[in-house]
Amino acid sequence: MIPAGRHSRQERFAPIGASGQAKIAASTAVVVGCGALGTVAAEQLARAGIGRLRLIDRDLVEPSNLQRQSLFSEADAAACRPKAEAASARLQQIAAGVIIEPLVADAQPSNVAALIAGAQVVIDGADNFPTRHLVNEACCRAGIPFAVGACVGAYGLSLTVLPGVTACLRCVQSELPAAGDGPTCDTQGIIAPAVHLVAAWQVAEALKILVGDLGAVRRELWAGDLWSNRFQRISLTKAKDPSCLVCGRQATFPLLTAGDDPAVVLCGRDAIQVRCGPVNLETLGKTLGNTVMISSEHLVRWQADGITGTCFRDGRVLVQGVSTPAAARGFCARWLG
Ligand SMILES: [Zn+2]
């Protein structure tokens, strides 16, 4: 039940109005990645009265997140809560009328279509370019608009993909940056205002899409640096590439058709992610005995030989304290079989 007048100021904004508000309330948005951009965007969408919000994140809340990831508290970090769950709990306090679907999951070629299914818009909250491009492919194939955003340091950028209409992310960035090539929040740091700038650009675009005002959707890439005060607007009206591998006439969807990543070095954490088969967390908690540090309905964390493993219900294991995927796989094989 949504209290009367809750969205009155937004309805009074002429381009939205009562009819636009009704469309927003009947819509589903998916936020892929519930870190800095994802939490800020999700809060704005929940407050705007979105009908359904699916939050996807694979990671846990840590103390270093709290400076910019606006839905999380120190208690969430102390409890190592999954970000999707912690964000969902906070959003239900803010806007109880919104249906929130938290999914503790990692977007991969095998599951990304299901993760975004049913959405009218997808918000990019990914912390790496391979995931961003994977979601771009899934959105283009499914015909779902995609509000792209990225930020690091004091810098951020944003563009909007309307499949079949505008350039897609791959048209603009035909080669994926190699791992370790680009700056990350770990190497360059980040300030919260850059996050809010980019999330605002993304959610404004999402609202235009949800109310059906596609003519107002921005056909430019916007980038800005809040510290050096440099801003760029790059027209994308001629950027759509007919030979694009994702949105061109002979699209091959190179990332969607590749296999899932067996091991991933995670940005923002000193961790390597390994995939094991489905697990029974209750049994695992008992098997690992006195090495267990945390055992909850979401995860089991254990520590041995100076290495920490965190196993999730979907079979992913984050391994901290090793330097190579092979060492991470070895640790999992030793303890999980
Ligand atoms: Zn394209």
At 183-230, the pLDDT tens digits run 777 668 999 999 999 999 999 999 999 999 999 999 999 999 999 999
Choice among 151, 185, 244, 311 that is catalytic? 185
Is residue 117 within 8 Å of 142, Cβ to Cβ? yes
Q: Which tokens go with 238? A: 């001629």
Cα separation values, 137 from 132, 161, 247, Å = 9, 11, 8
d(CA 273, CA 258): 18
Q: Are residues 195 and 156 in contact, defined by beta-carbon separation less than 8 angstroms?
A: yes
Q: How far is the CA of 167 from the centre of ligand 1 (A)?
A: 5
Q: What is the DSSP string of 27-73?
A: -EEEEE--SHHHHHHHHHHHHHT-SEEEEEE--B--GGGTTT-TT--
pLDDT tens, 275-324?
876 788 888 888 888 899 999 888 999 998 889 999 988 888 999 988 87
Per DSSP bridges, beta strands 28-32 and 155-161 are: unpaired
Greater confidence, 34 or 273? 34
* 185 is annotated as an active-site residue: yes
**Phi first, then psi: what are they for 327, rounded to 5°?**
-65, -35
Q: Answer with the residue of higher pLDDT: 279 or 136.
A: 136
CA of 227 to the centre of ligand 1 (A): 31
User: Distance between CA 72 and CA 90 in Å, rounded?
Assistant: 8
Cα of 247 vs centre of ligand 1, distance in Å, is: 4
Give the confidence band of 178 by pLDDT, cuts at 50, 70, 90. Answer: low
Residues contacting 44, CB < 8 A, separation 6+: 199, 200, 203
Domains annotated on the chain, with CATH: 8-235 (3.40.50.720), 263-336 (3.30.310.10)
Distance between CA atoms of 30 and 135, rounded to whole angstroms?
11
Output the CA 137–ligand 1 centroid distance in Å.
Answer: 9
- Cα(176) to centroid of ligand 1, in Å? 13
1 close to 27: Cβ distance less than 8 angstroms: no
Across the chain, the runs of DSSP E, i.e. the strands, are 28-32, 52-57, 99-104, 121-124, 146-152, 155-161, 220-225, 230-235, 263-265, 271-275, 292-295, 299-304, 307-312, 316-320
User: Which residue in 154, 162, 176, 196 sits closest to 70, CA to CA?
Assistant: 196
Ligand 1 centroid to residue 244 C-alpha, Å: 5
Identify which of 52, 254, 29, 31 has the alpha carbon closest to the alpha carbon of residue 141: 254
**252 CA to centre of ligand 1 in angstroms:** 11
Asked if residue 263 lies in contact with residue 106, where contact means CB atoms within 8 angstroms, the answer is no
Closest CA to 189 of 223, 230, 152, 228: 152
d(CA 151, CA 194): 7
ipTM of the complex: 1.00
In the reported structure, the alpha carbon of residue 249 is separated from the centroid of ligand 1 by a whole-number distance in angstroms of 10
Give 8 or 275, the one with higher predicted confidence.
8
Distances (CA, A) of 242 to 11, 144, 170, 238, 251: 39, 19, 11, 11, 9
Ligand 1 mean position, distance from CA 159 (Å) = 13
Calpha distance 127→32 (Å, rounded): 10
Distance between Cα 28 and ligand 1 center (Å):
24
Q: What is the DSSP letter of 328?
A: H
Q: What is the pLDDT of residues 98-130, one digit of tens each?
A: 999 999 988 999 999 999 999 999 999 998 888
